[in-house]
Structure 1
């Protein structure tokens, strides 16, 4: 897609459900073939299929719909045995919903069989494993598929792991039974893994290695399952319910903007408008893809001059996945409460224009999702030793650096506010952790291709903060936090001293400052031969008494007075005789050269004296 400040998704090459073609009635469409998870009087949610992974150490929730009052039984057994390991039954309620919870089970790579029956008909799922399950959610940077990430050929060619599996939730803004029927869990093979979230894949594959200490004679490590649940170009409000949004001023503002665009409009007219946009959008993407094949280094100025600006945003409709609540109603509510260990969340780009609302909405979304997954009962029925958190863990990817070429020189400074909201959530909400990726962005490309670094940092955070340390290999317990500003003090009239935590071997290092498509030849964080950087290269700025910010020089100190042995940086500007505050990385795009011994980037921050 064209990289401008208003274009945030979908990710290049991504595909959308047929429901996005404007069929608002897809939930009622007739299918020429029998639906895999339906029988005459009951159904099982589409997220259950052959090859799925069930969460270990926690009670497993199985759910679906049936004739009110129907008696449903769920059982699980080893495929090699007739007698079930465990089973449970429940009556369907008056709304036609049923939920059954099976007791917690230990990890197992042996194929299991999960059966659901109403006493007359049955649905049986084969090749079911028990291990770790995470949901990968958000917008286009979580959506970016492995086949479209940096150097995918070698990764995909070697990606054969029968214990790593994924489920792609159909991407739609209205329930699409046909798309759900066509969906199903996939094994990690070179032919299948290309359409998996690249972040999700690298997280899962490194988590498999991180949990390798749990290998046994009958299990080659812990099975890992990823539920992909994302759509590019979606606001955080797309992933929340209307009732929750209506409770706050911030939520109502999003709803009001949406309602103004659709109220009183003819549905057929909106469907026609959507279909027309979809044709234009598909044609534009095809042209760009073809041009990229011919010239991978073509600039966006050249591409836009030849093919025009990307037709974005799409028209707003009641069936659009880009509307508030759309993805929540048609995706999240369709997979919840499939038992998971935690959520990987990479989103925020679409909300930059309303960045001052993002922290509140992020907290509200986390709280709402935790309610869907019934946190209060997450530990009930546990009979297997293992880590279970009282709150559903969220691992958030902090937005990297980015700016469109057309916006150089007129930074809106919205992205730093989003980044601070993401970090504040980690500081103030239990079982929420944020990984810094300030060094991973690409100039003029809102979809940076290096998703391996992102996935591996998420894994390191999960191993250190979510899993019991005793269950992971020693080298997985490496640092997971980059340098974080701890204190700021004045050193005379003109200099400020910033001390840092998590800053062993604090140094200036390399970061990805190259343009779209340029390989990263030097590892991120690799030290450079300098302990002082001039203004404009250090990433630091200081503020004068009038509130104006100036780029600053910075020197790393080995020890300074009372801060002896505490990692510190001296910051100053010759244009600011009495600095009133300091910030680092507080821009959409700019230098981010500060790293620690582990090669992790410093957190962006802003401090006042």
Structure 2
């Protein structure tokens, strides 16, 4: 055999050198593995087809790598109290080791801003951080990551670490205080806390496509998301077109783009400073306005300004949330995501020497609305780069308020937060195979405008997360929204009250779901109440009750409402020691007739029930604490308040 042939034979028979083994980033030294459940360990870096062995204590499991060198091994159910190193070895001799690994209880804490609020932003941050010293708690915080398709791996913001004063500041305060309450029951079993939350997110952001379909999500919007993963421009165009069609149905200014017409007489419109969010403008009636708003201005140009009419761009900065822009009645651009800076190229021939009209329609579904960038971000950029400022006094007119919309505008699935499945794809899907003791869920603020659909979404969310983590009975603790928003001198059908009721109903349907009642812990003007210690304590009590089977008091709940000779008797559960605080009578009760008209009603406590006094008028329903920020003065001796509710009278 020739020398060349021998070399060729050697090259074809000698295995390639193994690359460095890796593990998925949600696995690392100092992690907690859930005792009593199998532990999935996965990674990459092996040779295609070679065997990889994972060992923890006396347990070893093996699997073969796929064609890309990725591997996945499942260790058998792990005992409580195990500690040591997890070793990974490949048949070719590569190895890695994860040190200081323990078995304990792992809790996944998720939701929006009130779960995301860190210890450093909550009450008593320094004291809270100091108290972490020496406690058997490990932390994993996920970076906010949105993906149009399920990601393989998470992006850690804080890899698994022992809780300590120098790392607790950025971690979820509610989740931490929940852990403290659990530790009071069992101070020795290690706790692993996973912080995966995103301020402003909707429940739909955290649901898989299958769960969204169960909850009735639009097949068209899910198709947009699939398209967005491969062709973002085409997906945006489809969603813009759908938004325009919706606006034409609900808004008089959008029908035929009537309020964008260049010859429109807008002299009767009011003036407002642009940029700026209209809720902060100080204009009467705009402080809480959500809906469609129109803005108009004009700009004078010379023939020299225009040059050849090409390469002229209108820049408007960020607009919250959706916009459509017309120049001289011609649509020149639209965007649907508040975080995107608006920059639209104007086709040649649209601008002319003299006055040119600019019209902007803004659709604001929740929170602040309007132009949110600095003044210098708004300009008409002429050929050669010269900038004509557009900031200043514009005319505005309200379109249709959200309360008058015939259905919500089409959801934009990639608009995170407030999209569809993007947070699930980026932050939850990659955690598949993680053993959990339970889930803590603090979310709902961003769904309050669609409270009627929340119960179905919450059910589908719960079912899908349990399936994803391979435990159909996985305990879930839901934090019911606290008080927030204006108080009213008359009964109102507040959206936050509707959403709290959805949370209550769904929690009561399932023995493995706890409801942490926080109605008395809110702040009228602050959607992010800083005292997360009591919230976390109540979360921990519910966790002990539904996940550990430990007897803990629950908030009083209504069982039935029955007519008596004196009025309506509300039979309650968990109402031991029910008493009024700071007054002679409980407040916040309402009687409603069959038409939905409600009025405040007097009530008295009778042992472990409440009697709503008959006022002689028709009544078919009782409501309690049915406002954004209701006054609360009825508690059980446990210190837990009566949960807000509505109940039909038998």
TM-score, normalised to structure 2, is: 0.65
What is the aligned partner in structure 1 of residue 640 from structure 2? 600
Q: 549-558 or 317-326: which moved more?
A: 317-326
What is the aligned partner in structure 2 of residue 225 from structure 1? 192
Residue 501 (structure 1) aligned with residue 468 (structure 2)? no
- C-alpha spacing 1:252/1:356, structure 2 compared with 1 (3 Å): farther
- C-alpha spacing 1:68/1:151, structure 2 compared with 1 (3 Å): same
Q: Return the offset for 1:599.
A: 0.7
Q: Return the offset for 1:181.
A: 6.3
Q: Deviations over 1:309-355 (max 9, x none)?
A: xxxxxx96848454311111111012222111111111111111221
Counting strand residues as a fraction of each chain, which structure ranks higher? 2
- C-alpha spacing 1:234/1:531, structure 2 compared with 1 (3 Å): same
What is the rounded CA distance, in whole Å, between the counterparts of 2:520 and 2:111 in structure 1? 20
Residue 118 (structure 1) aligned with residue 80 (structure 2)? no
What is the rounded CA distance, in whole Å, between the counterparts of 1:117 and 1:266 in structure 2? 50
- C-alpha spacing 1:531/1:327, structure 2 compared with 1 (3 Å): same
What is the rounded CA distance, in whole Å, between the counterparts of 2:233 and 2:589 in structure 1? 45
Residue 455 (structure 1) aligned with residue 536 (structure 2)? yes
Could you tell me which of 461, 478, 482 is aligned with 1:365? 461
| Secondary structure, aligned partner of 2:155 | helix
Larger of the two Rg values belongs to structure: 2
Residue 482 (structure 1) aligned with residue 547 (structure 2)? no
- C-alpha spacing 1:104/1:467, structure 2 compared with 1 (3 Å): same
Residue 170 (structure 1) aligned with residue 251 (structure 2)? no
What is the aligned partner in structure 2 of residue 353 from structure 1? 449
What is the rounded CA distance, in whole Å, between the counterparts of 2:564 and 2:537 in structure 1? 39
Asked whether the 8 Å contact 2:476–2:514 carries over to 1, the reply is yes
Asked whether the 8 Å contact 1:63–1:97 carries over to 2, the reply is yes
Residue 402 (structure 1) aligned with residue 487 (structure 2)? no
What is the rounded CA distance, in whole Å, between the counterparts of 2:542 and 2:337 in structure 1? 46
Q: Which runs of 5+ in 1 are unaligned?
A: 1-38, 78-84, 213-220, 287-314, 376-389, 470-476, 510-527, 559-566
Aligned positions of 1:436-451 closer than 5 A: 436-451=517-532
Residue 539 (structure 1) aligned with residue 591 (structure 2)? no
Asked whether the 8 Å contact 1:147–1:194 carries over to 2, the reply is yes
Could you tell me which of 198, 203, 212 is aligned with 2:173? 198
| Secondary structure, aligned partner of 1:340 | coil
Q: Deviations over 1:472-528 (max 9, x none)?
A: xxxxx341x121112222233x7222222111111123xxxxxxxxxxxxxxxxxx3
- C-alpha spacing 1:582/1:449, structure 2 compared with 1 (3 Å): same
What is the rounded CA distance, in whole Å, between the counterparts of 2:217 and 2:508 in structure 1? 22
Could you tell me which of 598, 602, 605 is aligned with 1:549? 598
- C-alpha spacing 1:428/1:118, structure 2 compared with 1 (3 Å): same
**Aligned pairs, number:** 469
What is the aligned partner in structure 1 of residue 72 from structure 2? 99
Counting helix residues as a fraction of each chain, which structure ranks higher? 1
What is the aligned partner in structure 2 of residue 50 from structure 1? 29
Aligned positions of 1:204-243 closer than 5 A: 204-212=179-187, 221-243=188-210
Residue 570 (structure 1) aligned with residue 583 (structure 2)? no
Q: Return the offset for 1:137.
A: 0.8
Q: Return the offset for 1:271.
A: 12
Residue 392 (structure 1) aligned with residue 359 (structure 2)? no
Q: Return the offset for 1:553.
A: 1.3
- C-alpha spacing 1:103/1:285, structure 2 compared with 1 (3 Å): farther
What is the rounded CA distance, in whole Å, between the counterparts of 1:420 and 1:371 in structure 2? 25
Q: Return the offset for 1:162.
A: 4.8
